[in-house]
Structure 1
Amino acid sequence: METQTHPLGTSRPPLDVADLPQPEDVFKVRKLGPVQVIQFVIGPSLIALGISIGSGEWLLGPQAVGKYGFVGVGWVITVSALLQTFYNVEISRYVIATGEVPVVGWGRVPPGWKFWVPFSLVVFYFAFIFGGWAAGAGQGLFALVAGRVYRPDEIEYVRLLGIGLLVVVFLITVMAKKVSRALELTNWVLVGALLLILLGVTVAIVPFAVWLDGIKGLVTFTAPPAGITATQLGALAGFTALASGLNWYAMNHYRDKGYGMGHRVGYISGMRGGKQEIKPVGVTFPDTPENRSLWKRWYKLLLIDQWAVFFVGAMLGMLLPTVLMAHVVDVSGKQPTAANVPTFSAEQLGAIYGQAMFYLMLIVGVLILFSTQLGIFEALVRNFTDAAHAVSPRIRKRIEDDPRKFYYPFMLLVLAVIAGAIHLALPVELVQISANMSNFGALMFPFALMYLNSRLPKPARPHWWHYVILALNVVFFGFFFVNFVYEFFTGAALVKF
């Protein structure tokens, strides 16, 4: 009997075809109730949320609100989070339906993988290789160790601490049996603890009126405040939630978690996990009544993971630090700058409430930025590994179909590159560059996603209105990128409010 295949796109082999697995078989449970969903199904969204509650929520959002207030800024946060969560769902649709991660899937879009795979990696790396997220974590850690914020002549110590935290990420992956699972468990602890501490501190010290202003700001659609530029708003939009047009880099974990056809393709195991092969070409499913029913179940689990966990967590992760920052600015009479925003809240609250609050907020800041560092650093390595493994038979032969033999040496190389790039600018300035480069990704990847998803098996294809919302991603984030480019080359804002 001839093996059935499903052609999709150009320049890559057709997908193999097999039935969708049962969720209970994948997660090894008798029945998937609410408790089992929390225990075994939720996961990829936590890794994305760990990245999300970081550069935008702890640095860019509080900086913008601290200087300009909520009104005219908050709605950018809300729209960005809504569009990005929807975009995440559409990216993950492809992963679940084919078992292929996005950086490999892009290779099926004309003109083919020789353009899209290198181009995707270059855009992704240019956005994140500068290490602003690592430098920000080092800045908070320095203050935690020294008991004060760093002086300008101590910036090198800050950078070394940021590099040291990269080594910690390397060790977490080395000690893992399954890398994705190790990241999930780490983020369960980090994200859960951080949101609880932030909620407790903010409820305890921030007046109700400030809370009300923050919530109203999120849902009040009005002109941005005078003086703010579209580039500044673009940085906030780009790193609210995750990374706008580049969110695809964090969706690989649906394959590794075993969602849908990801269960048929494989995952990256840790050093303690033993050899685990990953198929270089994805697998999709035939259009049968049983598979249509199973697809609906997998898609429902995806919606729970993204909307109930990622979206809610991202909105809380942005609301709490910005409300807290607004209160700090009000009571201190000072405003955060690009140089001090990672430690501004801790410094000012420490002056008002004592050293215990200073250290508590520093711990929160370090852990928030470390969760971002954990996700981004690992994603830089993971996406390159997945791409190289999929498109190069020579590499697969060299590593004997064991992705770990590429993953770990390459992680050390990336660590060395970031250790050099981290010296280029202040942490927040590096993050602003990354955020606006993320908006650049929104100019093309939603279109590539439309192409791929329209060619999936019929039960997995999007409805017409999904394409409309993907187009809105292009318009919204693309507007901010155009302004960033104009200001970068001319030194003047194209749009100033």
Structure 2
Amino acid sequence: MAEEIPVAATTTRPLGVSRPDLTVADLPTPEEVFRVKRIGPAQLVKYALGPSLIALGISIGSGEWLLGPQAVGQFGFEGVGWVIVISAVLQTFYNIECSRYVMATGEAPVVGWGRVPPGWLLWVPLSVFLVIFAFIAGGWAASAGQGMYALVHGEIPEKGAEEPRLWAIGLLFVVFLITALARRISRALELANWIMVGAILVGLLLICLFIVPWSTWWDGIRGFVTPALPPEGITATQIGALAGFTALASGLNWYVMGHYRDKGYGMGHRAGFISGMRGERSQLLASGVTFPDDAKNTALWRRWYRLLLTDMWGVFFVGAMLGMLLPTILMARAVEISGEKVTQDNVPTFVAVALDQEYGRGMFYIALILGVLILFSTQLGIFEAMVRVTTDASHATSPKLRALVEGDPRRFYYPFMLLLLVIIAIILHLALPVSLVQWSANMSNLGALIYPFMLMYLNSRLPRAARPRPWHYIILVLNFLFFGFFFLNFIADFIGDPLITF
């Protein structure tokens, strides 16, 4: 259930346009939310950290397992690695700013966009469309299906084979089951990603320590910190996709940050969450709640903000960098020992085939298992997020829908998930997995032209304690410039000649 707003909270605070004013109530304490006596290191890991793991599970997939290794496999580390690092740093700052709004208001970002002029009628439907348009292509699902086929049959599927697509559709049903069997959907996703991301990073580290020479480790690390022009021959689409899907999804990262509301961070504890079929129905507020400007709430805000920074920099950023370094040096080693070229066709299973030739069948299956875990964690997060964003937007903006589902968002969430599953199953038959992923990544960069400025508008109007410092706005502008450039270059390349060639 949503935390009942204190009776004394009779005041409201306006924020933006076209949406109801925010109710004002005190921030809860972290101990109250997580039901512990104190937040020590054990309680931090067990209860407080988590939403960044869902983002990390998505991250270690399309960018880290497909696009980064493909770029390194074709062109090497120089001129590629620094793009990865800049993208990860900028995106972590951007994630924090998106989550700042969620913690201060209890509203998912897609709902908050409706407060930006000219209002929700433009920004909420447009934002839902951009998320679905960017990710419905299903490249992440198709790639996971390829890995499952190879794992089951012990061989790589032929180009255009049908069975990998059927495996991809089957994995979409697995996502449905995970959410359906959950008591609290966000918590189920966190636990699944604790297991998958932990296994992925430990497995990749052990394999890399075993087979990758230190010279390749050094090349990878040096490539991350050495500025250089992108290598000759790489296309605008490739470099833009790499930038867009390193760490998460550049300008569209906000579509995952609503999990901080469901986790109960800050005012999210007052706003409610989407429960699973097995869970007790939660009242999800249609409009948010914020806190008063006083010393007590300022101190509580600082505590919540420190938890957010720990989750983002300590889990998401570190995990994203390891998740990019380990697969790319492994791919570099696979290219070296196989003598083959990495292509869009073979990148999902390239490493497994190369390790099979050099180290035997055992390594082949280990690499495939890791690849399937990596791609499925992405599939889990993206598929659920498209449903979540649409549910949040519809529930918040449509009184008729709230009446139709009797205030229970699950009655929209699960039927829409099944509808989306059918649509993705159809689209899966239309293009190569990695080309679909590149399209999604460049569509993510489109968001960087829009949402940083919307965040500036919203966050500058939060209670004083929650407002960003001036240099935070500079970071948001850098997001706009960096990712926006790659999107414009992608569009120019798509319709004719790119703005710049490498």
What interval of TM-score do these two structures reach, taking the shorter chain for normalisation?
over 0.9
> Are residue 26 (structure 1) and residue 33 (structure 2) matched?
yes
- The CA distance in 2 between the partners of 1:405 and 1:48, in whole Å, is 25
1:421 to 417, 427, 440: 427
Q: Deviations over 1:181-227 (max 9, x none)?
A: 00000000000011000000001100000000000000001111111
Which residue number corresponds to residue 243 of structure 1? 249
- The CA distance in 1 between the partners of 2:430 and 2:479, in whole Å, is 30
- The CA distance in 1 between the partners of 2:320 and 2:82, in whole Å, is 14
- Does the residue aligned with 1:150 lie in a helix, a strand or coil? coil
2:313 to 307, 310, 316: 307
- The CA distance in 2 between the partners of 1:252 and 1:213, in whole Å, is 37
Match runs of 1:374-453 below 5 Å = 374-453=380-459
**AA aligned opposite 2:114:** G
Which residue number corresponds to residue 3 of structure 2? none
> Are residue 495 (structure 1) and residue 500 (structure 2) matched?
yes
- The CA distance in 2 between the partners of 1:463 and 1:444, in whole Å, is 20
After superposition, the Cα gap between the structure-2 partners of 1:153 and 1:466, relative to the gap in structure 1 and judged at 3 Å, is closer
Q: 1:157 Cα shift?
A: 1.0
> Are residue 320 (structure 1) and residue 314 (structure 2) matched?
no
Q: 1:494 Cα shift?
A: 2.9
- The CA distance in 1 between the partners of 2:234 and 2:411, in whole Å, is 48
**AA aligned opposite 1:9:** G
Q: Is the 8 A contact 2:236 2:493 kept in 1?
A: no
- The CA distance in 2 between the partners of 1:403 and 1:257, in whole Å, is 17
**AA aligned opposite 1:191:** V
**AA aligned opposite 1:444:** I
> Are residue 457 (structure 1) and residue 437 (structure 2) matched?
no
Show structure 2 runs of 5+ residues with no match. 1-7
- The CA distance in 2 between the partners of 1:2 and 1:91, in whole Å, is 25
- The CA distance in 2 between the partners of 1:234 and 1:487, in whole Å, is 11
Q: Is the 8 A contact 2:9 2:25 kept in 1?
A: no
- The CA distance in 1 between the partners of 2:240 and 2:372, in whole Å, is 25
With normalisation by structure 1, the TM-score equals: 0.99
1:74 to 78, 81, 84: 81
Match runs of 1:246-257 below 5 Å = 246-257=252-263
**AA aligned opposite 1:28:** R
- Does the residue aligned with 1:368 lie in a helix, a strand or coil? helix
2:474 to 448, 468, 471: 468
Q: Is the 8 A contact 1:231 1:493 kept in 2?
A: no
- The CA distance in 2 between the partners of 1:493 and 1:357, in whole Å, is 41
**AA aligned opposite 2:442:** N
Q: 1:2 Cα shift?
A: 8.5
Match runs of 1:118-197 below 5 Å = 118-154=125-161, 156-197=162-203
- The CA distance in 1 between the partners of 2:231 and 2:391, in whole Å, is 44
2:377 to 353, 366, 371: 371
Q: Is the 8 A contact 2:338 2:357 kept in 1?
A: no
Which residue number corresponds to residue 63 of structure 1? 70
Q: Deviations over 1:383-436 (max 9, x none)?
A: 000000000000001101111111111110010111111111000000000000
- The CA distance in 2 between the partners of 1:50 and 1:292, in whole Å, is 32
- The CA distance in 2 between the partners of 1:167 and 1:195, in whole Å, is 25
Q: Is the 8 A contact 2:237 2:490 kept in 1?
A: yes
Which residue number corresponds to residue 24 of structure 2? 17
Percent of matched pairs sharing the same residue: 66
1:358 to 356, 364, 383: 364
Which residue number corresponds to residue 338 of structure 2? 332
- The CA distance in 1 between the partners of 2:304 and 2:143, in whole Å, is 37
- Does the residue aligned with 1:16 lie in a helix, a strand or coil? strand
> Are residue 221 (structure 1) and residue 221 (structure 2) matched?
no
Q: Deviations over 1:261-307 (max 9, x none)?
A: 00000000001102111000000000110000000000000000000
Q: 1:133 Cα shift?
A: 0.3
Which residue number corresponds to residue 109 of structure 2? 102
Q: Deviations over 1:79-130 (max 9, x none)?
A: 0000000000000000000000000000000000000000001111110001
1:270 to 266, 276, 280: 276
Q: Is the 8 A contact 1:229 1:495 kept in 2?
A: no
Does 392-401 or 222-231 show the bigger shift? 222-231
1:115 to 119, 122, 126: 122
- The CA distance in 2 between the partners of 1:6 and 1:231, in whole Å, is 44
Which residue number corresponds to residue 289 of structure 1? 295
2:96 to 89, 92, 101: 89
**AA aligned opposite 1:496:** T
Q: Is the 8 A contact 1:177 1:274 kept in 2?
A: yes
- The CA distance in 1 between the partners of 2:215 and 2:478, in whole Å, is 33
Which residue number corresponds to residue 240 of structure 2? 234
**AA aligned opposite 1:46:** L
Show structure 1 runs of 5+ residues with no match. none
Q: Is the 8 A contact 1:245 1:440 kept in 2?
A: yes
Q: 1:230 Cα shift?
A: 2.7
- The CA distance in 2 between the partners of 1:375 and 1:274, in whole Å, is 23
- The CA distance in 1 between the partners of 2:486 and 2:186, in whole Å, is 32
Q: 1:56 Cα shift?
A: 0.4
Q: 1:331 Cα shift?
A: 1.6
- The CA distance in 2 between the partners of 1:103 and 1:384, in whole Å, is 9
After superposition, the Cα gap between the structure-2 partners of 1:14 and 1:153, relative to the gap in structure 1 and judged at 3 Å, is closer
- Does the residue aligned with 2:23 lie in a helix, a strand or coil? strand
- The CA distance in 1 between the partners of 2:274 and 2:216, in whole Å, is 45
**AA aligned opposite 1:255:** R
**AA aligned opposite 1:180:** S
Q: Is the 8 A contact 1:132 1:426 kept in 2?
A: yes
